[in-house]
Structure 1
Amino acid sequence: MGQVLITGYQFRSNEYRKGPIEFMMGLCSFLLSEDYDIPHMLSNSNMKCLMQKGVHYYAYKVYPNATNMPPLIPEGRWKLQLDFLHLNQYTAFSIEWYSGVEYPIRFG
């Protein structure tokens, strides 16, 4: 019954503004996904699909590996916000990552 809302905010005009990245996926699909380096990010956690009431879940050292991000994200400073929703309505918790995207200049 859980969903994850993923929203990207690009730093423009001295503030983070909603960018071209926004999508929602089911919690189990998110936890089982091989994309975006999710298995690495959750390697130091006990979060598994079909979360149960009364169980204390933890996650630490949660950070993505840049090599597994989608290509062609515009350069600049970014905030990526993950909202974990219960019943598609109530926010259980949120995660905000601040990062930058730079592409190398290649000559020749």
Structure 2
Amino acid sequence: MFLFSGALCFPQFYQDDYDVKIERVELARYNTSYLKDVKFQYTFYNRTQKVLNASGHLLVDVGRDATVTVQFYKFASNEYRFFPVAFDANACHEVAHNTFNLGVMLKNTSNITPCHMKKGLYYIRNLAFNDFSHLPPHFLRGQFKMDAEAHVSSASLFEIHFYVTVSDKPPKWNKKQ
């Protein structure tokens, strides 16, 4: 089982052997003691590109103690089954170190700064997941469900489910002259 705890501290990955297609993203639940007026949508931006739009009012101050727990499930025998890849990560640390290119994606599309979030309105606008080159190389192919749950201290803030398909990149066609 691949179980990571604490900071990921991975080197900056680069992979070019697989593509990821995000089928859908859904907000499974959120804690009304910490968030209100939450809106969440994964929709088409144009004919070919889907984007994530989300907003909500944070009711408490969140500091450097926010963590994210991620668990993978693999689609097999017509259902998502437990897959032994899971990790806990400090949100502030991982965004500051731009793990999986998260820091750049959030900086360009939102006002979220996980290291010091005060009460107020936070949003993500038109976040397109289209660069998967910063993910770990040699990941298994198939359909997966990824559950990401955000925590502050011992309380859960929200849980998001990503449904994705990991497939080989098409072969490169080099035209010989």
TM-score past 0.5 threshold = yes
Unaligned runs of 5+ in 2: 1-64, 172-177
- Which structure carries more strand by proportion? 2
- 1:3 and 1:25 in contact (8 A); partners too: yes
Match of 1:10 among 74, 82, 95: 74
Unaligned runs of 5+ in 1: none
RMSD: 1.9
Match of 1:38 among 81, 99, 102: 102
- Which structure carries more helix by proportion? 1
The aligned counterpart of 1:85 is 151
Shift of 1:67: 1.5
Q: Superposition pairs for residues 1-108 of structure 1, below 5 Å?
A: 1-42=65-106, 43-48=108-113, 49-52=115-118, 54-64=119-129, 65-87=131-153, 89-104=154-169
Relative to structure 1, is the Cα distance of residues 60 and 8 closer, same or farther in structure 2, using a 3 angstrom cutoff? farther
- 3-state SS of paired residue (1:61): strand
Aligned pairs, number: 104
Query: Matches of 1:34 and 1:44 in 2, distance apart?
Result: 15
- 3-state SS of paired residue (1:57): strand
Q: Normalising to structure 2: TM-score of the pair?
A: 0.53
Larger Rg belongs to: 2
Give 4+ residue runs of structure 1 displaced > 2 Å after superposition.
60-65
